[in-house]
Amino acid sequence: MKRLLFALALACLTTPVRAETPKTEAAPKPVVVPFELLPTGHVAVMVKVNGEGPYRLILDTGAPITLIDNRVAEAAGLLKDVPEPLFSLFGSRGEVKVAELQVGEQSVKNVTAIVMDHPTVQALSQALEKKLGGPIDGIVGFPFFARFKMTLDYRARTATLTANGFKPPDVMKDMMAAMMEAASDEPKVLAPAAQWGMVAEKAADDSDAGVTIKDVLAGSPAAVAQLKAGDRLLTLDGRWTDSLVDLYTAAGYVKPGETVAVVVKRDGKELTLKVKPASGL
Amino acid sequence: MKPLWSSAALAVLCLAPWARAAEPPKPEAKSFEVPYRLTAFKHIVVRAKINGKGPFNFILDTGAPALFIAPEAAKKAGVEPDAKGWGVCDRLEIEGGVVLPKAKGRIEKPFQLEGINGLGLAGVELHGMIGYNVLARYRMEIDFTKNKMVWTPLDWEPKSPVGLGESVRGATGGLEVMGTIMKYLGALAGAKTEPDYTLRGFLGVELFDKEDAEYPEVKSVLAGGPAAKAGLKAGDEVTHFQGRSVQNADDVRRFALKLKADDPVKLTVRRGKETMEIHFKTGEGL
């Protein structure tokens, strides 16, 4: 029964996915893209789709996908090979491949987008169209901006995009994997990436910030950094360590040989120590 | 039919409902490295403490006009909503050291979060979104090849976001239903919002890869650690871990990824001309 329902859950979210072939820009020059700050606080950028446009889209760090409405999709020739659906939710035509998506002067080739008339975008567009002198036609999301180091500056109203070689993973595939994991009964093991040489503890009824160092092994990186049993460890490499799960998660980011700061509270005072964990376990 | 539903499911994740005017909070002046995690849904999640409580998990969302705090989290932090649903956090601290006094936020849970939490898609429980009224106060550098962002406070007063009234604000066109559907499907599938965690066990071994060597070598064993007690010595070459052959320190680390505390370990080592098996149980620690 459980399996059946899970399959159903997957079916509702699945779409046939084509492999994404990202192209990294050869010269990683920063490109400054000016944006409009809408009265609602949204960031609007001018976007060319397959050379057509520019159209006004919202740059949204909270969007896992890029959305383009039917009007623009039609104009940019994105719907040529897409069959007309019998029934369509929010005018959705599913996933399409955009040969070139150009945001300001920065562009990406072969990027996926979903064609859909998002009701919130439409409502926003209708409300602001007169003031802006044109409509809002979609959302620029993760598959585009993830390929860049993106510096957002609301005061200057610019998004500076520098290609960083990052290949955005497929959101659908990762979502499936996450759903599988969420429904699995097996606990997730948190592994530190390097060896510190210390033991930490936290009592169940202890809700104060940090964890307590129970033991520091002689000669270990923790000992070399002068960590001591009884220290209250507050942060490790800038990450809060309010639980053992936090501590192991933070230690999962620090590679062997990397020197990072840890902040401990000892005798009521906060100390910052530098630790260089070893290659080991 | 299928792709249409899936598009709608993804579409619910875009654009939080916007809200009525909010007073922006005050900044501090210094650059901060802000740790984040990228979820399966490609959301940038940062942690924040409100009035010292938490940490709570927030999506960094330029598509949201303001800070949104789920009512449960607001309650824990003692943030009371006013008649219009706004609350003031006396102190909002974002992991990495960013502190905002008197941060104003909407006390409500956008329907998107119900769906993500219900399906366990973020791997953490999400408690809200950080949107324009907070984000606009910083220059933010987002780079997924690094595991921290860089936030620099900007010396300016961003305008309060303008609300467009109930008629527009409620215009989700039925998208909110997807949030509920996702939540119930997740519950039926037995999805957990956050996985159960367990901590990797401790061996007390430092390894290194000698040039041209066939196997990783024990550089040192920590006195009092499990491996030292079992008789492993510096200079030993590890040929097998749990019976699987290894060629370098990374192999050992990889094979040990799922080892919990108090799990049995079998190391096959070469000491001089001798080959021996060393058995012990992992301990606690890192």
- The top-scoring range by mean pLDDT among A234-243, B8-17, B155-164 is A234-243
Q: What is the pLDDT of residue B164?
A: 60
Beta strand B37-38 with B148-153 is: unpaired
Spatial distance between the Cα atoms of B113 and B109, rounded to a whole number of angstroms: 7
Interface residue of A24, A45, A61, A262 to substitute, partner B, most B CBs within 10 Å: A61
pLDDT tens figures, A82-135:
787 777 777 788 889 999 999 999 999 999 999 999 988 999 999 999 999 999
Q: How far is CA B63 from CA B19, B157, B161, B202, in A?
A: 12, 19, 12, 43
Q: How far is B274 from chain A (nearest CA, A)?
A: 23
pLDDT mean over A126-154: 96
- What backbone phi and psi angles, to 5 degrees, belong to A195? -100, 125
Beta strand A232-236 with A211-216 is: antiparallel
Q: What is the residue whose two structure tokens read 């699995």? A: A184
Q: Which uninterrupted H or E stretch holds B189?
A: helix B176-189
Interface residue of A6, A132, A137, A154 to substitute, partner B, most B CBs within 10 Å: A154
Show me where the domains of chain A are located: 19-181, 198-275
Contact between B204 and A216 (Cβ < 8 Å) = no
Spatial distance between the Cα atoms of A196 and A118, rounded to a whole number of angstroms: 50
Contact between B259 and B282 (Cβ < 8 Å) = yes
**Rounded to the nearest 10 degrees, what angle do helices B111-119 and B176-189 cross at?**
20
Q: Residue A239 and residue B7: Cβ atoms within 8 Å? A: no
Fold of A19-181: Cathepsin D, subunit A; domain 1 (2.40.70)
Q: How far is A32 from chain B (nearest CA, A)?
A: 13
List all residues of chain A from 30 to 69 with a beta carbon under 8 Å from chain B.
37, 39-43, 58-65, 67
Q: What is the pLDDT of residue B41?
A: 85
Residue-averaged pLDDT of chain B: 87
Q: Residue B142 and residue A145: Cβ atoms within 8 Å? A: yes
Chain B residue with minimum CA distance to A183: B191
Residues paired with A113 in a beta bridge: A96
| pTM confidence score | 0.87
Q: What is the pLDDT of residue A260?
A: 97
Q: Residue B11 and residue A43: Cβ atoms within 8 Å? A: no
Residue intervals in chain B for CATH 2.30.42.10: 205-281
Please say if the pLDDT value at position A279 is more than 80: yes
Cβ-Cβ contacts under 8 Å, B129 against chain A = 62
Residue intervals in chain B for CATH 2.40.70.10: 2-189
Tell me which architecture the domain covering A198-275 has in CATH: Roll (2.30)
Q: What share of chain A in percent tops pLDDT 90?
A: 75
Chain B residue with minimum CA distance to A214: B285
Cβ-Cβ contacts under 8 Å, A153 against chain B = 139-140, 154
Q: Who wins on pLDDT, A227 or A90? A: A227
Q: What is the pLDDT of residue A148?
A: 97
pLDDT mean over B85-98: 96
Q: How far is B171 from chain A (nearest CA, A)?
A: 6
Contact between B218 and B241 (Cβ < 8 Å) = no
A172 touches chain B (CB under 8 A): yes
Q: What share of chain A in percent tops pLDDT 70?
A: 90
Q: How far is A265 from chain B (nearest CA, A)?
A: 16
Chain B residue with minimum CA distance to A254: B147
A6 touches chain B (CB under 8 A): yes
CATH numeric code, B205-281: 2.30.42.10
Chain A residue with minimum CA distance to B202: A281
pLDDT tens figures, B171-216:
555 566 666 667 767 766 777 788 889 999 999 999 999 888 899 9
Q: What is the pLDDT of residue B5?
A: 60
Nearest to B144 among A166, A215, A245 (CB): A166
Please say if the pLDDT value at position A206 is more than 90: yes
Confidence of residue B266 (pLDDT cuts 50, 70, 90): very high
Contact between B42 and B90 (Cβ < 8 Å) = no
**Total beta-carbon pairs less than 8 A apart between chain A and chain B:** 361
Q: Residue A171 and residue B260: Cβ atoms within 8 Å? A: no
Q: Which superfamily, per CATH, for B2-189? A: Acid Proteases (2.40.70.10)
Q: What is the pLDDT of residue B144?
A: 97
Residue-averaged pLDDT of chain A: 89
What are A48's two structure tokens?
A: 């060319």
What are B216's two structure tokens?
A: 């990783």
Spatial distance between the Cα atoms of A262 and B4, rounded to a whole number of angstroms: 48
Spatial distance between the Cα atoms of A110 and B252, rounded to a whole number of angstroms: 39
Q: What is the pLDDT of residue B198?
A: 92
Chain A residue with minimum CA distance to B9: A13
Q: How far is A239 from chain B (nearest CA, A)?
A: 7
A4 touches chain B (CB under 8 A): no
Q: Residue A195 and residue B206: Cβ atoms within 8 Å? A: yes
> Which of the 8 DSSP states describes residue B69?
E
User: How many other C-beta atoms can be found within 10 angstroms of the C-beta atom of residue B219?
Assistant: 17
Spatial distance between the Cα atoms of A49 and A43, rounded to a whole number of angstroms: 18
Cβ-Cβ contacts under 8 Å, B203 against chain A = 280-281
The residue type found at A50 is: N
Q: What is the residue whose two structure tokens read 């093991």? A: A189
What are A6's two structure tokens?
A: 């899970």
Preceding amide of B264 cis, omega within 30: no
Q: Residue A281 and residue B13: Cβ atoms within 8 Å? A: no
SS (H, E, C) B203-258: CCEEEECCCCCCCCEEEEECCCCHHHHCCCCCCCEEEEECCEECCCHHHHHHHCCC
Nearest to A238 among B33, B142, B197 (CB): B33
Chain B residue with minimum CA distance to A248: B199
Instruction: Give one DSSP letter per residue of chain A, joined into a string.
Output: -HHHHHHHHHHHH----PPP-----SS---EEEE-EE-TTS-EEEEEEETTEEEEEEEE-TT-SS-EE-HHHHHHTTTTTTSPPPSS-GGG--EEEEEEEEEETTEEEEEEEEEE---HHHHHHHHHHHHHHTS---EEE-HHHHTTEEEEEETTTTEEEEEE----PPPHHHHHHHHHHHHT--SPEEE--SSB--EEEE--TT--SSSEEEEEE-TTSHHHHTT--TT-EEEEETTEE-SSHHHHHHHHTTPPTT--EEEEEEETTEEEEEEE--BSB-
Nearest to B185 among A8, A40, A119 (CB): A8
Identify the burial level of A274 via C-beta atoms within 10 angstroms of its C-beta, where 0-12 means exposed, 13-18 middle and 19 or more buried: exposed
Q: Residue B13 and residue A64: Cβ atoms within 8 Å? A: yes
Nearest to A116 among B7, B64, B133 (CB): B7
Spatial distance between the Cα atoms of A95 and B67, rounded to a whole number of angstroms: 31
Please say if the pLDDT value at position B169 is more than 60: no
Chain A residue with minimum CA distance to B283: A199
Chain A residue with minimum CA distance to B217: A280
A229 touches chain B (CB under 8 A): no
The residue type found at A5 is: L
